[in-house]
Structure 1
């Protein structure tokens, strides 16, 4: 299995926006997002837009064996320039449980070394399992986990260094 990260260009933004709908669909299974009357999930477009107009935002497609498998949106955490944050991370269902997500995250850690955090909604149990296992493996179990507020929502934060 071959996994690589491919930088997302402004011309690729519509592809990311399409994948973002699939990401929200997957999350809706555990956190109950509602679909709009237009048949899409509403979200703040600035979430995606920031990755094309803020210097410390790094959008990547995840490519597995030459096929688009998802995305990883890495950024510096707001107001904390020395803390890297996995803004959003998504692997298509057909690539799950094959090591694609772990390999892609490992590539993110190698591309952006330093202090890191990953945030997960408490109701997203599948994502919690993935992140705990993946972070534990990639950091030799040297991470901390806290429940903190993020923009008015409780989230689970996994913090570590790469």
Structure 2
């Protein structure tokens, strides 16, 4: 059994997340018309001030001590009443299908009780399958589905309440 760790990224680790964003965007280029720049990198532009926003919480993911990805929680919500959103979520291909992503989401939900929205691009079949499988379990079957467009792309949103853990 692998040891999975999720730890809050410090300011000096944001460069690591920016580097991992190249792989994140590369994965998305399978479904979206994203182009490489002239120097062989994707032009990654998180919204201005995204990492400086106090509501944005970046995390690094490690498996058996090895860097395996990143995730961010933010308040960039699209559904009325939602408090938390997963802004970016990337698990390196080598670690996919091993329960890493589900562990990360479960850990985040326990750390941030409240109203959540989690969404995926409809054009991304692996995300569609992953969220359809894990949300019913993690939300205790109590969630609503919504269809919205984000930046012109059709998306599916899950909205649910994550209770405060009992002491």
TM-score computed with the length of structure 1 as normaliser: 0.90
Q: CA deviation at 1:64?
A: 1.5
Give the structure with the larger helix fraction: 1
The answer as to whether partners of 2:4 and 2:61 remain within 8 angstroms in 1 is yes
Q: Deviations over 1:69-121 (max 9, x none)?
A: 11111011359785100001010000000000000111110111111111211
The answer as to whether partners of 2:24 and 2:90 remain within 8 angstroms in 1 is yes
Which residue number in structure 2 is paired with residue 96 of structure 1? 96
The answer as to whether partners of 2:77 and 2:84 remain within 8 angstroms in 1 is no
Which residue number in structure 1 is paired with residue 39 of structure 2? 38
> How large is the RMSD of aligned CA atoms in angstroms?
1.9
Q: Secondary structure at the match of 1:29?
A: coil
Consecutive unaligned residues in structure 2, runs of 5 or more: 163-167
* 1:143 counterpart = 2:147: no
Q: CA deviation at 1:54?
A: 1.0
* 1:61 counterpart = 2:60: yes
Q: CA deviation at 1:150?
A: 2.5
> Separation in 1 of the partners of 2:12 and 2:157?
32
The answer as to whether partners of 2:75 and 2:83 remain within 8 angstroms in 1 is yes
Which residue number in structure 1 is paired with residue 3 of structure 2? 2
> Separation in 2 of the partners of 1:117 and 1:41?
27
